Amino acid sequence: MEPSWPCFRAGRKFGVALLNMEFPPPMPNSSFPQCLLNGLDAARAGKPPPSPEFEKKLREILGQHGDGGRGRVYLVELEPLRRQFGKKWDIMAGKIHNAVRETVESHMSAADACTPYADTSYLMAYSRLDRHEIQLKCSLISRELARRLIGTESAYNEIKIKEATVGDDGRIAFTEIADIGTVMNNQTGKPSVKSESRLLAEPKLWAGDVIDRDGIRFIYRPLLALRGMIVSTYICLAIKQDSVGSFFSGYAILPDPSSTLQIADLDLLTMATAATELSLIMETGAKTLISLPVHFETIANNRTRTKYLDYCGRHLKKYANFLVFELVGLPEGAPQSRIVELAGMLRPFARAVIARFTMDRKTFGLCRSANLHAVGMDLYYHHEGEASIMRQFNRFVEAANKERLKTYVHGIHTISLNTAAIAAGFDYIGGYALSSVAESPMPARRYDLYSMYRPLLGE
């Protein structure tokens, strides 16, 4: 099934889709722009041509840089995804093309250009960013698409990003770029693989009850501070893929999510991972915070609390200015005096302590006395209708404001929920409607909230 939607540029549709374009071998001495443009011209023979607007924009992008546009043209390749869908592809193709369109548009400026290329790929050209920034953006696009389409951030299993290159013989080729983690490491100057000497020793505390570490990896969810429109905090989160390819995150990856010892072991593993990133943040001087979840059961249980706080004292105290603890898993009806006590235990090792509650929480009495910086909720596992969620947004923020507490929400997955969260008065928001997850915490950056709405405004 061929893409039914036309070429587009930053939310503005135009022209006829460029389908099944093939690049003939140009003359060996051709420049990169001419190689690509020759291919565009040759594609007209017996096939739908690219729209004049797309070709004009592409010529501008390729011609306005001294490098001839090298590193500015990329291909999103979905062929592995089509093979995975099999016969369902024809049924799902329309939704997939819409998801691609929405995702790509949200990551493009008005100076960039994109068009469908055959049935399973999309040609993108970027104007203003440097090569590393473009590759990072492309990788984030593929991750976001993979999460939306098949529920996994491991984009390179099913979605490929390829850079248009020119060989010595002048032929155009598409070369797959590195994984997003490598792209980020290249951009920041970090080594692509952390040496074992940099990693803190993984704590193994419970004989016979240590979780299987194989297959567990960590991602970082960005959190936007609305007051300054800055993304400077990243939530460290464990994820794991099961035997049938589904991905789980947080405590849902545990064999027994109710086991206090397994919960504590995951909290310690998460801490060890975050500590390695914190050491890199200190070395580079980046203005970045890591939010570290710690479960109520880990701190409430005498045995696990002793081990956890001992590890904090030995490895985290020097990173206190870069760390925020998020107290999670608070049971219904937990005495607020207990929350005050637990927050007090964590505070010496962090810049701030925040606490996550269920979205129907109505009172936050002693939370202010506990010196919590903020209270919040997580929508990732909520499947209620948006109207119900929006009503609870308002009640939650109103109750927190009575105690002069800041508020946050994870898991914003639609533009409408994002708008509702802002209108309700949340101080911090996060979710893939705003930004994709990262393999490592990034330096603090300003966020253009308006960019999220450009596709709706036709820009």
Domain around 181: 8-186
Is residue 166 located within the same domain as residue 275?
no
Q: Write down the pLDDT at residue 34.
A: 64
Quote the Cα angle for 363-368-374, to 5°.
85
Query: How far is C-alpha 296 from the chain's CA centre?
Result: 26
The answer as to whether 1 is a domain residue is no
* Contacts of range 168-174, beta carbons closer than 8 Å, 24 or more positions apart: 168/28, 169/25, 169/28, 170/25, 170/26, 170/27, 170/28, 170/29, 170/30, 170/35, 171/23, 171/25, 171/26, 171/35, 172/23, 172/26, 172/35, 172/36, 172/39, 174/75, 174/77
Last residue of a domain, one of 131, 161, 186: 186
**Better-scored residue on pLDDT, 10 or 342:** 342
Is residue 180 located within the same domain as residue 50?
yes
User: What crossing angle do the helices spanning 450-457 and 415-424 adopt, rounded to 10°?
Assistant: 130
Tell me which amino acid residue 126 is: Y
Rg of the Cα atoms in the chain? 24
pLDDT in tens, 9-66: 443 333 333 333 333 343 333 455 666 666 545 444 444 555 667 677 777 777 766 5
Whether the predicted pLDDT of 238 surpasses 60:
yes
CB atoms near residue 399 (< 10 Å): 19
The mean pLDDT of 390-418, rounded to a whole number, is 92
431: alpha, beta or left? (left if phi > 0; alpha if psi -120 to 50): left
440 pLDDT band, cuts 50/70/90, is confident
Last residue of a domain, one of 152, 186, 220: 186
Q: Write down the pLDDT at residue 86.
A: 84
Is residue 103 located within the same domain as residue 245?
no
**Better-scored residue on pLDDT, 234 or 415:** 234
386 pLDDT band, cuts 50/70/90, is confident
Q: Write down the pLDDT at residue 16.
A: 31
Considering 131-145, 157-171, 241-255, 367-381, the range whose residues carry the highest mean pLDDT is: 367-381
Residues composing the chain: 459
Q: Write down the pLDDT at residue 299.
A: 92
Whether the predicted pLDDT of 225 surpasses 80:
yes
The mean pLDDT of 231-252, rounded to a whole number, is 82
Is residue 131 located within the same domain as residue 226?
no
What lies within 8 Å, CB to CB, of 235 at 6+ separation is 220, 221, 223, 290, 291, 293, 326, 410, 430
How confident is the prediction for the chain on average, in pLDDT? Answer: 75
Is residue 203 located within the same domain as residue 109?
no
In angstroms, the Cα distances linking 414 to 145, 173, 245, 380 are: 14, 36, 25, 12
In angstroms, the Cα distances linking 275 to 55, 110, 288 are: 48, 40, 13
Q: Write down the pLDDT at residue 190.
A: 38
User: Residue with structure tokens 């947004």?
Assistant: 393
445 pLDDT band, cuts 50/70/90, is confident
**Better-scored residue on pLDDT, 442 or 179:** 442
Is residue 291 located within the same domain as residue 404?
yes
Q: Write down the pLDDT at residue 14.
A: 31
User: What crossing angle do the helices spanning 260-284 and 302-315 adopt, rounded to 10°?
Assistant: 10
The answer as to whether 109 is a domain residue is yes
Enter the tokens of residue 119. Answer: 């049935």
The answer as to whether 393 is a domain residue is yes
User: Residue with structure tokens 């979905």?
Assistant: 78
410: β partners: 378
Whether the predicted pLDDT of 223 surpasses 90:
yes
375 pLDDT band, cuts 50/70/90, is very high
Q: How far apart are CA 159 and CA 445, in angstroms?
A: 27
Q: What is the CATH number of the domain that holds 380?
A: 3.20.20.450
Q: How far apart are CA 287 and CA 442, in angstroms?
A: 9
Longest dimension (CA), the chain: 77
pLDDT in tens, 87-132: 888 888 888 888 888 778 777 777 788 877 777 888 888 887 777 6
Whether the predicted pLDDT of 165 surpasses 90:
no
Judge contact between 269 and 314, C-beta under 8 A: no
The answer as to whether 2 is a domain residue is no
172 pLDDT band, cuts 50/70/90, is low
Which among 364, 418, 371 has a CA at the least distance from the CA of 396?
Answer: 364
420 pLDDT band, cuts 50/70/90, is very high
Last residue of a domain, one of 132, 163, 186: 186
The answer as to whether 15 is a domain residue is yes
The mean pLDDT of 418-428, rounded to a whole number, is 94
| Total domains in the fold of the chain | 2
Q: Write down the pLDDT at residue 37.
A: 61
**Better-scored residue on pLDDT, 309 or 30:** 309
